[in-house]
């Protein structure tokens, strides 16, 4: 049981996401990001399975078969693509639905911060994209959301954080249609 280490880790992550959200203009989302991690349901399981190098939810799944903290978290935090699923009319199974832009941007910030926290001094701007590929997210996200996420994380890898944040603020959050993103990224009007 590592409640102090877990508290420090989730707080460091939260503050990183908060600062990133502020940089692109998502003030309210930055302030509210991951507050549920401090709830008893999430906090105590996280402290119990704390490792410092990866999410305690992964260790909880290995030990208990599931992570009750994760189930609690994903149902309350719209920046997780798992939140964005529903049963379409005439169907009998959950399917992913498109993630709204502001939550997609927060999700990008979340992935960057998680990569920085868990990779530490070994972090590179390619880590968040590598994580997207490792988790097989293309099978779990709505195809439109996946294409946008992959595009943005590729920009991060290839052009760096400052460029990505400028692009998020000036293009993505201005609701420029996705089919124009590549042209905007190349600097054409």
The 10s digit of each residue's pLDDT in 79-132 is 999 899 989 888 888 899 999 999 999 999 999 999 999 898 999 999 999 999
Query: CA nearest 3: which of 41, 42, 43, 33?
Result: 43
Look at residue 26 in the predicted model and tell me its pLDDT: 96
List the domain boundaries for the chain.
3-185
Query: CA nearest 46: which of 34, 31, 33?
Result: 34
Q: Which two tokens stand for residue 170?
A: 């000036």
The percentage of the chain sitting over the pLDDT mark of 90, rounded to a whole number, equals 72
Look at residue 160 in the predicted model and tell me its pLDDT: 95
Instruction: Give the span between the Cα atoms of 97 and 111, in whole angstroms.
Output: 20
**Which residues lie closer than 8 Å to 178 by C-beta, 6 or more apart?**
144, 147, 148, 151
In the chain, beta strands by DSSP E:
85-86, 95-96
Cα angle 169, 23, 114 (rounded to 5 degrees) comes to: 105
**C-alpha dist (Å) from residue 44 to 13, 67, 94, 133, 141:** 17, 12, 29, 29, 29
The 10s digit of each residue's pLDDT in 162-179 is 999 999 999 999 998 898
Mean pLDDT of 54-58: 86
């Amino acid at each position: 049981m590592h409640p102090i280490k877990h508290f420090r880790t989730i707080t460091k992550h939260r503050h990183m996401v908060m600062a990133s959200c502020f940089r692109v203009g998502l003030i309210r989302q930055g302030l509210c990001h991951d507050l549920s991690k401090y709830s008893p349901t999430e906090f105590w399981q996280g402290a119990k399975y704390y490792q410092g190098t990866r999410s305690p939810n992964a260790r909880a799944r290995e030990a208990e078969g599931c992570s009750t903290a994760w189930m609690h978290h994903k149902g309350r935090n719209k920046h997780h693509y798992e939140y964005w699923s529903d049963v379409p009319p005439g169907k009998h199974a959950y399917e992913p639905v498109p993630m709204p832009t502001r939550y997609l941007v927060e999700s990008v910030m979340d992935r960057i911060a998680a990569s920085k926290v868990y990779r530490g001094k070994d972090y590179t701007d390619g880590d968040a994209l590598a994580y997207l590929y490792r988790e097989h997210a293309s099978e779990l996200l709505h195809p439109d959301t996946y294409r946008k996420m992959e595009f943005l994380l590729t920009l991060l890898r290839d052009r760096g954080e400052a460029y990505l944040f400028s692009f998020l603020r000036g293009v993505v959050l201005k609701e420029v249609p996705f089919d124009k993103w590549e042209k905007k990224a190349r600097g054409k009007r």
